[in-house]
Structure 1
Amino acid sequence: METDRHIAALELEAQLFAGAARRTDLDAPVSSCPGWDMRGLVRHLAEIHLWAAAQVANRAAKMWVDDLSELSAYWPDLAVFWPSDTELIDWYLKTNVNLVRELTSAPIDLECRTFLPAPSPLAMWARRQAHETAVHRFDAEHAGQTQASFDPEFAADGIDEILSAFAPRGSTFSIESTGTMAVHTNDTDARWYVTMAPNGITTTGEERPSDVTLIGSASDLYLALWNRGDDSTIEVVGNQDLLDSWHHGHRVRWS
């Protein structure tokens, strides 16, 4: 997907997320994020939007902006931690608008800190924030007893991000089983082959022998690989232990 489409998805997913949050009590537990309630989820995503926007705004700098107090130097009107419950969701939407504005106004050759491989820093931040928002939209809708689904192309892009960008980073996975997991979407042409071993994870699009194959819609596989949803919606052929190892071991980290 191109960067402009990621930014459009970021805007759309934010609206859907906010809508789900408005329909649900802020004290409602978010079962897909154990220990969180809806209030905490909204705060988290707003904070992440501010953090991401600060990295983009901090152009060409060789340092992270990662403290809430630092954000006030960029957008004092948004650096309110935390707004009242009656203002919280509107405040969240303002942080999204602010992030979109930073992304759309950034130069194509933007230089800033990143933490995932991508064609450019701008592409990385747009993609990462689109999928951050989409996954938390699922969390918000699930908390409100509704089921999220995603466009096949967007979901396949999210699968690629987690398998090709996040998973190979050495500090993100605790290996319990070793072998190769194939991921086949049945509504796009996308395929991935993920080899898990004690020395790390490698992902390729080139076909290779696999110990387990996951088959399903891009949307269902996207949710399964993000440890959301229900594995009963996908077909698992082969060694279930490898999928269990993924579920138990995968943790998203930015450093």
Structure 2
Amino acid sequence: MPLSHEHLCTEILTQARLLSSRLEGADLTTPVPSCPGWNVGQLVRHLGGAHRWAEAVVRTRAGEAVPDGDFRDLSAYTREDPAVVGPWLVEGAEHLVGALRDAGPDARVWTPVPGGNAAFYARRFTHETAVHRADATLALGAEFGIAEEVALDALDEWMELGSLPMHFEVHPWMRELLGPGRTIHLHATDTAPEAAAEWLVDLTGDAITWRRAHEKAAVAVRAPLTDLLLIVYKRRPAHTEGVEILGDASLLDFWLERVGFG
């Protein structure tokens, strides 16, 4: 069941506040291994800048692409103060959520992928904020946790965005993923059966497709739900303790190498 617009709006704030609280007393010059070249302070500035960019897109009902350079160049943010950047992050999330609530999910607005409505930004920035919270949390040596329904929706969104045909135009090398017998099964091992926390990625046709399903595949990955999320986002290696890989591990590695964002 997809998360509602209001649930997503609330979750953006929840994730931003959790990240802000993690920053208290932390050394924000700590490098972030999952975002090479950034430290924790720069990561937070990137995320807060992205919130402000999305807020402007939604608030103005932008009909075309809006420059996003404000959160790409992070060279000026090498030594951030948690007492400053934490509240700043939450403030940006609050403004974004305000714009999303005012707009409603069906408001027409430019999006970088097909869809063209505010609902895209509510969902995308829920999971953008959650995954960057994972980046910072893991970099600072703490354990990352996330609500089951949010992790499920994050994986569904990742599958949807990662299988868009437009990727073949932007990244032609992704076509090399396609081939006979190439299927990948992801199975969360710590959810109740009714959660249906299994995904089948099918690379056997002329496009990448996916579905929630329990099916045999060329390679299967069994792991706790949060670990699966971090694996597909390349925040945690697949070949690690607690993750079971059955079948053609090289296909899994090839898929993870070629498909990714965020």
State the one-letter code of the partner of 2:117.
Answer: P
Distance 1:95 1:219 in 2: 26
- Residue matched to 1:50: 52
Structure 1 segment 1-255 matched on structure 2, within 5 A: 1-59=3-61, 61-67=62-68, 85-86=80-81, 87-116=84-113, 121-169=117-165, 170=167, 171=170, 174=174, 175=176, 178=179, 179-186=182-189, 187=191, 188-196=195-203, 199-205=206-212, 209-231=216-238, 232=240, 233-252=242-261
SS at match of 2:251: helix
Structure 1, gaps ≥5 residues long:
70-80
Tell me the TM-score normalised to structure 1 length: 0.83
* 1:188-246 CA-partner distances (Å, limit 9, x unpaired): 31322112369542212355541111222221111111111243232211111122113
CA contact (8 A) 1:117 1:165 kept: no
Structure 2, gaps ≥5 residues long:
71-75
Tell me the TM-score normalised to structure 2 length: 0.81
Q: 1:56 to 1:115 in 2, by over 3 A?
A: same
SS at match of 1:85: coil
Q: 1:199 to 1:51 in 2, by over 3 A?
A: farther
RMSD over aligned Cα atoms? 2.6
Distance 1:166 1:58 in 2: 28
State the one-letter code of the partner of 1:64.
Answer: A
After the TM superposition, which of the residue ranges 201-210 and 168-177 deviates more from structure 2?
Answer: 168-177
Q: How many residues align?
A: 240
CA contact (8 A) 2:162 2:261 kept: yes
Give 1:100 deviation, angstroms.
1.0
Q: 1:132 to 1:250 in 2, by over 3 A?
A: same
After the TM superposition, which of the residue ranges 22-31 and 163-172 deviates more from structure 2?
Answer: 163-172
Give 1:22 deviation, angstroms.
2.8
SS at match of 2:201: strand
Q: State percent identity of aligned pairs.
A: 29
